[in-house]
A and B are shown apart, each in its own frame.
Chain A
Amino acid sequence: MRTVLAPLAVFAVLFGALPAGLSAAGSGYLFRLADVTLIFCILALSMQLITGVAGLLTLGHAAFYGIGAYTAAILSTRVGLDAGLTIPASGLVSALFGVLIALPTMRLVSIYFAVATLGLGEMIYVTLLNWVSFTRGPLGIGDIPPLRPFGFDLSSPLGTYFLVAALAALALVVVHRLAHSYYGNALRALREDDQCAEAMGLPVVRLKIEVFAIATFLAGIAGALWAHTTGYVNPADFRFAESILILAMVVVGGLGSIPGAIVGAALLILLPEALRAIGEVRILAVGLIMFLCILFLPKGLFGEVAALDLVRRQFGAAWGGSPAVRPLGWR
């Protein structure tokens, strides 16, 4: 029963209550916040897949978001492609780069992989910034047409919202299905111990590359949505700080948890806006809240591990032993 109700509630909110409320408020500001939050939900979900589920800490996610945005910008302004084509194309180009980058780096372990993605992310930023003849460098690309896929005019706030929400919902379904399947369990095995997983016969490198491709595809789509809804892209929007923001969403929400990614994204996008009243100290406040979140909820608001603990406590006898008295021993 629960498996039907939860998604139904999410979809009801996403496509019923939220747009109805926003339309009633008639505020372009709130629509814009909803769009940005949903775009970052896609980004957080895609990173959740890499970092939370498959356990590969990536510090360069914003670069794929940027590749997606630039693909959409260049295809729609220079080639004149329709938004209905630029969005999937952005995903594909981004995934292509994801695979290209994954091939040499996937055999790196833990922190080395993280550092490699950081380096690659900065490389992509520096390239976007300095390859002036192709990306227009720091001038950015402007006049990106709003969302009018296949002749449907979705450039109104409500139309844009519905398209962004539909794609976010799609990303949610994809990530949810992937994470809660045998495939997702294989990924979790990688996260916990990839040597062990390999010994058990899982194709570790192939799985990592696949999951990286899927996640970067989603990040590319988020980038295309950003480009079309904002109308102007600039390399400075896809810097290291953006990767850290996405990572913070995933960690605050809880690694491995899908509701966590969504709540984390909503929190870190909406909090700075909600705190406008306190003006100049609001970024300080965001930093503090982030810190307190991590301090008191180190496994995230909806951490998978924390959730497991909850289940264990409920069915204590069946799972055997409480975690507190577990003896130290071999790793």
Chain B
Amino acid sequence: MFDRFDIFFVQQLINGFSVGLVYALVAIGFTLIFGVLNVVNFAHGEIYMIGAYAGLLAIVFLAPPWVALLLLVLAAGIVSGVALERAAFKPFRRFRDEASLKSKAMRESTLLSSLAVSIVVRESVEKIFGADMQAIPRAYADAMQEPISLGELAVASGQIAILAAAILMFAALQWILTRTDIGLSIRAVAANPLGAQYVGVNVDRTVIATFAIGSGMGAVAGILIGLYQGTIFPAMGFAPGVKAFVAMVMGGLNSIPGAVICAIVLGLAEAVATEFFGQGWADLVAYVFLVLTLVFFPTGLFGAGRERV
């Protein structure tokens, strides 16, 4: 048993940490949108995918420097996020009467409208680019996939880039949420939409801004992770999307730091579980964690303790 705690185990922890960061990058935008709207955005994985494809197109046709590439992808994410909000979420905010606000049918219709949009987007991308993995020009792929040896351990350059991106995004989001007007209104709407409206917050604008920020971050995550893993394909958003969802729930649904911590814990647990059970069963870890958290901490590990009925 203890012979497992060797240099390979340390390598395994590094692997798990980097997987956790991938989940965290996706979870940040996901949690932001959930926190405000209190509905699950099934199309977040597709925004992530659009980010990767937008970045790839930019690389192939423009070969921009890295900063310009990330800004382009950010813009693509913001545009698609706003479009998604317009198409799948805004139509359902026209119902303002009490019955509709409380109606479960209404809440589930946004869940399904985002799901329908995600099907349409994924199928369209599949039709345009094909369902297979896209080849990435080597100059960009190599920059993210170069091995860096640390004695017997190895990390990839992309892992460092993703760590940096995660820290940067997290910090930027905290700054936006606590230091800007739009962040203030986002927090107000998240806390109580009706109350925010009474004190003069423009709820519509706030929701659009939330989608813009969350989707922009999702798109940047998409291109970074796509380049680092070398896997850009139409269904790429599903697997990290589900894990990010789990991390978000474990973190308490509306707590971004909670989601990030839980994402990293999840990544570590999966890597360690592979040591003992094989990868097939390691996939179970995320769901076991999810169910245990829900049963013993019904509002998540970092939840605000606000019961959602």
A interface residues with partner B (beta carbon < 8 Å): 51, 55, 57, 104-105, 107-112, 115-116, 118-120, 122-123, 126-127, 129-130, 191-195, 240, 244, 247-248, 251-252, 254-256, 280-281, 283-284, 286-288, 290-291, 294-295, 298-300, 303, 305, 323-324, 326, 328-329, 331
Contact = CB atoms under 8 A, between A and B. Distances in A.
A290 B95 contact: no
25 contacts: A108-B298, A109-B307, A110-B308, A111-B38, A112-B299, A115-B246, A115-B249, A118-B245, A119-B246, A119-B287, A120-B291, A122-B242, A126-B281, A195-B309, A251-B108, A255-B104, A256-B105, A281-B123, A284-B127, A290-B112, A291-B117, A291-B120, A294-B109, A328-B194, A331-B101
B106 A298 contact: yes
Interface string B67-99: 000000000000000000001100110011111
Interface of B: 38, 40, 87-88, 91-92, 95-99, 101-106, 108-109, 112-113, 115-117, 119-120, 123-124, 127, 194, 242, 245-246, 249, 253, 278, 280-281, 283-284, 286-288, 290-291, 294-295, 298-299, 307-309
Interface residues of B, dominant DSSP: helix
Nearest to B298: A108
A105 B294 contact: yes
Instruction: Give the 10 A-B residue pairs with the shortest CB-CB distance, closest first.
Output: A287-B119, A291-B116, A119-B290, A119-B287, A284-B123, A287-B120, A130-B280, A290-B116, A255-B105, A298-B109
Contacts of B123: 281, 283-284, 287
A54 to B, nearest CB: 10
A328 B112 contact: no
A284 B99 CA distance: 33
Contacts of B95: 298
A283 B234 CA distance: 14
A57 B115 CA distance: 15
A115 B104 contact: no
A65 to B, nearest CB: 18
B200 to A, nearest CB: 16
A247 B117 CA distance: 16
Contacts of B291: 104-105, 116, 119-120, 123
Contacts, number: 147
Given A115-B249, A119-B246, A291-B117, A331 B98 contact: yes
Contacts of A248: 112, 115
A329 B307 CA distance: 20
B105 A298 contact: yes
Nearest to B246: A119
A111 B253 contact: yes
A303 B109 CA distance: 12
B99 A323 contact: yes
Contacts of A329: 98
B298 A305 contact: no
Nearest to B88: A291
Contacts of A284: 119-120, 123-124, 127
A54 B113 CA distance: 22
A290 B98 contact: no
Contacts of B249: 112, 115
A155 B96 CA distance: 53
Given A247-B112, A295-B113, A300 B105 contact: yes
A299 B106 CA distance: 7
A116 B102 CA distance: 22
A248 to B, nearest CB: 6
Contacts of A118: 245
A123 B116 CA distance: 25
Contacts of A104: 291, 295
B293 to A, nearest CB: 9
Contacts of B245: 115, 118
Contacts of B105: 251, 254-256, 298-300, 303, 305
A111 B253 CA distance: 10
Nearest to A304: B105
Nearest to A324: B97
Contact of A105 (B98, B99, B120, B295): B295
Contacts of B299: 112
Contacts of B290: 115-116, 119
A294 B298 contact: no
Nearest to A191: B104
The residue in B91, B101, B309 that gathers the most chain A C-beta atoms within 10 A of its C-beta is B309
B102 A331 contact: yes
